[in-house]
Homo-oligomer: A and B are copies of this chain.
Amino acid sequence: MSHRLVSSARPADEGAAARILELVGPKLEATERLFQERLTSDVPFIARSGEYLVRGGGKRMRPALLLLSARMLGRDSEEEVTYAAVVEMIHTATLIHDDIIDHAELRRGRRTLHSVWGANLTVLLGDWLYTAAMKLALAHDNLRVIDLLCDATLGMTEGELLALERLGAVDLGRDEYLDILERKTARLFAAAAALPALMQPARHEAFEPLERYGRALGLCFQLVDDLLDYTASQDELGKPVLADLKEGKLTLPLLLALPRITPEERRKVAHVLEDRAFRRADPDELLEIVRREGTIEETSRLAEAYAAQAREALAAFPDGEARSALELAPDYVLHRRA
């Protein structure tokens, strides 16, 4: 089984993961099979790298979200499995290109595609995967769904572009930072959650609250990701701590601390961003700064606020197993360790 809802959760969250798997486990398995089936081609490199990608697994958060949302709306067909595979394909394509851009060597503890096969083939594989996702999404003749997926993909790409231009800037503000996260991460979560409302027969009234739920969950997810870079160990993350900073990216804990710290400390942060290495500053010093300034806690509290927003968005829906599982998802996201 290559999706990892259970294995990556810590004991306290196994209840949530087990609940989700009980509800949508068979559909997640079907999604996995479809994902694998679509990552093939008569082009040898696509077949080879597709197999490598499938074996690499992933948390399959977006498919699980889409399937739970579909379940809450009473959908039960092959259609939601198709779309669950589509969102995972889109997500995978963005990861492939992002890893090239970040020169990331590792993802989920394994070598990234471009570090195995080089950037050239890998750029094209990302292109192929984006288009293969759109092609698969056409299977159920629903143009509104394709439009939603195009918008989410455009938003993500715009978020990545803004991230590239702005995340290393020391004048980056909190709101601008959150706008970037909203685009690069939360848009696809929002699309995954809201997409089932567009399936036939459409449930227009469900679209907005589901989108709001997915957006808040996505922001919560990304803030936890940012926090893990400061709090997790290399072993848990499968990549080094403070990796974001070494890639020239400021994330919220340091960003919030910047206006409050000494000019000397600010210079150290700027040095790491500039050098993309800890040559002129020590990682422990920087970790000490965010601890001292309490910005780890502030970021945590913001993540919790988004988790609460997500839960509130579900109030529009009648009680039931799927709603309960969706209510648990923010906690699952808040407490994940990797």
Contact = CB atoms under 8 A, between A and B. Distances in A.
Contact of A127 (B120, B130, B135, B151): B130
Contacts of A45: 161, 165
Interface in A140-175: 141, 143, 146-147, 150-151, 153-154, 157-158, 160-162, 164-165
A150 B138 contact: yes
Residue among A41, A44, A45, A131 with the most chain B CB within 10 A?
A131
Copies of this chain per assembly? 2
Given A45-B165, A46-B161, A138-B143, A153 B124 contact: no
Contact of A41 (B41, B134, B138, B158): B158
A119 B101 CA distance: 8
Given A123-B123, A127-B127, A157-B128, A135 B164 contact: no
A43 interface: yes
A325 interface: no
Contacts of A157: 124, 127-128, 131
A126 interface: yes
Interface in A22-53: 41-46
A121 B162 contact: no
Contacts of A334: none
Given A120-B164, A131-B153, 5 more contacts: A124-B161, A128-B157, A128-B158, A131-B157, A138-B147
Nearest to A152: B131
Contact of A97 (B43, B124, B146): B124
A132 interface: yes
A127 B120 CA distance: 15
A162 B134 CA distance: 22
A299 to B, nearest CB: 25
Contacts of A164: 120-121, 124
A14 B160 CA distance: 45
Contact of A143 (B41, B44, B101, B141): B141
A100 interface: yes
Contacts of A146: 134, 138, 143, 146
A128 B124 CA distance: 14
Contacts of A128: 154, 157-158, 161
A283 B162 CA distance: 44
Contacts of A153: 127, 131
Given A138-B143, A138-B146, A154 B126 contact: no
Contact of A154 (B97, B131, B165): B131
Given A45-B165, A101-B124, A124-B97, A131 B158 contact: no
A165 B124 CA distance: 12
Interface in A81-110: 93, 97, 100-101
A132 B150 CA distance: 7
A125 interface: yes
A121 B165 contact: yes
Contacts of A41: 158
10 contacts: A43-B158, A46-B158, A46-B161, A97-B123, A124-B164, A127-B130, A131-B157, A134-B134, A135-B154, A138-B147
